[in-house]
Structure 1
Amino acid sequence: MSNAKLPIFILLGGKSQRMGRDKALLRLGEQTILERTLKIATSLSDDIYLLTSWRDRYQSFLNSTVRWLDDPYQEGGLVALHHGLKTLNPSGWILLLACDLPNLDQGQLNQWIAQLETIPATTAAALVNQGKFYEPCCGFYRGTAQRSLQQFINQGGRSFQKWLATVPVFPLAIAQPQMLFNCNTPADFATLETQA
């Protein structure tokens, strides 16, 4: 698969309760966090989807490269990922990115993409292992994972970590863990603003 054909899902399903306002639309310098994420995503692929229930809120970001993928359930990231995979039905990998990862590194993502063809076919996901848990919202999922996701969700499961414990996951190496910094709270955003 060429990078240009790698589907990228940008997850915009959260309620931003800890932040108190929409994280994706917070401004760092001249850009919102979502615009920063889209800049990286569009450098990687021509096949980008905003995975969200709130199309109206993000309408201005849609174009020929960035499209909308409806999340009608509003039951969290795992259910949204499953719905996206089921709707798009990709034959290979997709890259899932949270909207609140302002330190994404294009070079690191390209290194990971280059590895995908070498990962065993039985692997459902390729993610960074952060010790006790995986980082589920910056990594790769096979289209075939939708079957396992469907079974897990049908049994009432909603936790990424609990689902990932049931499937083969390929561990991705990361040179700069700061790349996975999530902007979840006003304090997180204040830290980013001082670095901007």
Structure 2
Amino acid sequence: MIDNHDATKRNLLPLTGVILAGGRSRRMGKDKALLKVSGKTTIERITNIVTKTCQKTLIISNDIDKYQFLNKKIVKDMYVGKGPLAGIHAGLRAANTEWCFFIANDMPLITRSIVFDLYEISKEYSQCDAIVPRVKGRIHPLCAFYKTSALRKVESCLEKEELKMSNFLSKINVHEVVEKPLYEKGYSEEELDRIFFNMNEPCDYRKVLEVFK
């Protein structure tokens, strides 16, 4: 698969890239992060993209040994068993940049260009706590930018056992990036469908493999 937008993207963004490697992969039946796609595990593929895009890369996982092969800093959840919100907390807490880019390990078709372009689109919304894509009405809070200053609000939700991402987003200042500015950047509807594809079940994994044939 060729990312036609990547040729002009050269410099690293002033972000901490945070890869969320948690999740139990119940619907997939096996660890999504370690599934092979064109000779690489999905988490290795995502890590390579993030490393080439962000100034710093972190892996969030409570199983440090499993991901040592990535040669990246691995950070454990402080709030173990509290879902993706705990991963957001761990990433924000460990970051030393004003903003973080978070990506879940079930999005192996993410590209450097979409991160660069989302960042560019979002510059004028720097007063927000989060920049979150919404494509075809579906919001993607685990492929999004969060300001490290939102850490206290994340902690508040975790302490109150308010663990749904939607609940957290309702408590902060969020700018949603919809399709129009991305179309203006040259993306097609088909490209956006592919980039924001979530691989949750075996049939999804087969679809991802088809992309690389």
Q: Cα distance, 1:133 vs. partner?
A: 4.8
Q: Larger deviation: 46-55 or 166-175?
A: 166-175
- Per the alignment, in what secondary structure is the counterpart of residue 150 of structure 1? helix
Q: Distance in 1 between matches of 2:129 and 2:136?
A: 19
Q: Mind listing any 5+ residue stretches in structure 1 that lack a counterpart?
A: none
The equivalent of 2:88 in structure 1 is: 81
Are 1:189 and 2:194 matched, yes or no? no
Q: Distance in 1 between matches of 2:134 and 2:38?
A: 31
The equivalent of 2:58 in structure 1 is: 49
Cα shift readout 1:73-114 (whole Å, capped 9, x = no counterpart): 1321111211221233x4511000111111112112111222
Q: Mind listing any 5+ residue stretches in structure 2 that lack a counterpart?
A: 1-10
Determine if contact 1:8/1:48 at 8 Å carries over to the other structure.
yes
The equivalent of 1:34 in structure 2 is: 43
Cα shift readout 1:24-69 (whole Å, capped 9, x = no counterpart): 110112111112111211110231001110111111111xxx2111
Aligned match for 2:163, one of 136, 158, 166: 158
Q: Which amino acid aligns with 2:59?
A: L
Aligned match for 1:100, one of 90, 106, 109: 106
Determine if contact 2:13/2:55 at 8 Å carries over to the other structure.
yes
Cα root mean square deviation, aligned: 1.8
- Paired residues, number: 190
The percent identity for this pair of structures is 24
Q: Distance in 1 between matches of 2:97 and 2:209?
A: 40
The equivalent of 2:30 in structure 1 is: 21
Aligned CA distance change for structure 1 residues 195 and 3 (closer, same or farther; 3 Å): closer
> TM (normalized to structure 2)?
0.82
> TM (normalized to structure 1)?
0.88
Determine if contact 2:17/2:51 at 8 Å carries over to the other structure.
no
Q: Larger deviation: 72-81 or 44-53?
A: 72-81
The equivalent of 1:138 in structure 2 is: 143
Q: Distance in 1 between matches of 2:114 and 2:55?
A: 18
Cα shift readout 1:145-176 (whole Å, capped 9, x = no counterpart): 11111112222111101211222111124441
Q: Larger deviation: 100-109 or 130-139?
A: 130-139
Q: Distance in 2 between matches of 1:161 and 1:178?
A: 23
- Per the alignment, in what secondary structure is the counterpart of residue 144 of structure 1? helix
Are 1:119 and 2:128 matched, yes or no? no
Determine if contact 1:124/1:142 at 8 Å carries over to the other structure.
yes
